[in-house]
Amino acid sequence: FNGGYNRAIRAPNLAELFATEQIGLWSGSDGCAGAAPTLTAAQCALTGVTAAQYGFVPNNTAGQFNQRTGGNAGLTPEEADTWTFGFDFAPIEGLAVGIDYYDITVGNRIGTIGSAAILNGCATTGDAALCKLIFRNPSSGDLWKGEVGYISNLTNNFGEISTSGIDLNANYTWDWLDGRWMASFVGTYVIDFNVEPLKGVNDAASYDCAGVVSVNCQTNEVRTITELRYTNELFSVNTRWRYISSLDYNQIGGTQDQLAKNGIDAYNFFDLSGSINVNEQVTITMGVNNIFDKEPPLV
């Protein structure tokens, strides 16, 4: 059996401290834009849309809006508490298994809230700390024409991140067909990945990224690597299967965009490699990753 507790701190790096403030883009949607807004007039009023502008705010069909990003010389170190415990066992000859549980909490987090979270958190909760970060174009109410309208998404010490999960490692070796076989499995399961950007101030702004793809998340619940290897005096062959679990799309604040009601299917990649011992001094090795040329998802 094994277990451990660790306290870790991380000081802000140079970019987090001193990156120049600038206007850039964030991808998503503005629930107050377009002729048929998905947010109500009252919700949009919280984000700075006037009654006269509601229903007439120009929408960016490219799904890109302005945000102000940059460093913060006033940052303080973030702190983490990490708990782990597990056990290793060898039930039969040649088989070794290890199971470990982890629980990690990062407080005083260095990062940003996220422009989508700011916009929709303001609209749905009316939180003053979020709403004051939204600067709409006074004349049209948009967040993308020129640099007049934007969301302030500067680096700061925001809230907390917590995650827990289980890691599994197994190896089995045996002799067969005049050679040595080895099968191995390495996998991790993310139980939760909670982000609380305004912990204790606005808990409604919190979200869980486990198994979710969105403008804020891309955290697969399960990732595994399974390998099978055969080796003898003349050659060796190794096959590998990489598995990445599916992701559900999470709509932020009920807004619609091109990914709405969609997600990302589970992905499987297969690799093959081998080597030949020409003599005591020369070994030739060849390999191909992703032998079926599986295209990764575009998000």
For 93-146, the pLDDT digits (tens) are: 999 999 999 999 999 999 888 898 899 889 988 989 899 999 999 999 999 998
Which pLDDT band holds residue 217 (cuts at 50, 70, 90)? confident
Predicted pLDDT at 250: 75
Q: What is the SS3 assignment for 131?
A: helix
Predicted pLDDT at 78: 96
* Other beta carbons within 10 Å of 286: 9
CB contact at 8 A, 68 and 150: yes
Does the structure show a pLDDT above 80 at 75?
A: yes
* Other beta carbons within 10 Å of 142: 23
**Cross-strand pairs, 183:** 172, 228
Rounded CA-CA distance 212/228 in Å is 31
Model confidence over 12-40: pLDDT tens digits?
A: 999 999 999 999 999 889 999 999 999 99
Does the structure show a pLDDT above 70 at 229?
A: yes
Predicted pLDDT at 215: 75
Rounded CA-CA distance 214/259 in Å is 9
Q: What's the token pair of residue 96?
A: 């070794």
Which pLDDT band holds residue 249 (cuts at 50, 70, 90)? confident
Does the structure show a pLDDT above 70 at 257?
A: no
Rounded CA-CA distance 276/296 in Å is 31
* Rg of the Cα atoms in the chain: 25
Which pLDDT band holds residue 281 (cuts at 50, 70, 90)? very high
Helix (H) or strand (E) holding 122: helix 115-125
CB contact at 8 A, 56 and 271: no
More confident residue, 158 or 44: 44
Question: 106: burial class by Cβ within 10 Å (0-12, 13-18, 19+)?
Answer: buried
Rounded CA-CA distance 271/293 in Å is 10
Q: What's the token pair of residue 271?
A: 């690799």
Q: Output the average pLDDT for the chain.
A: 92
Rounded CA-CA distance 298/290 in Å is 17
Does the structure show a pLDDT above 90 at 262?
A: no
The percent of residues above 90 in pLDDT, for the chain, comes to: 78
Predicted pLDDT at 253: 47
Predicted pLDDT at 261: 59
Rounded CA-CA distance 97/87 in Å is 8
Q: For 119, phi and psi rounded to 5 degrees?
A: -65, -50
What predicted TM-score, i.e. pTM, was given to this entire model?
A: 0.79
Residue 136: C-alpha distances to residues 32, 44, 93, 132 (Å): 11, 11, 68, 11
Q: What's the token pair of residue 256?
A: 């619609």
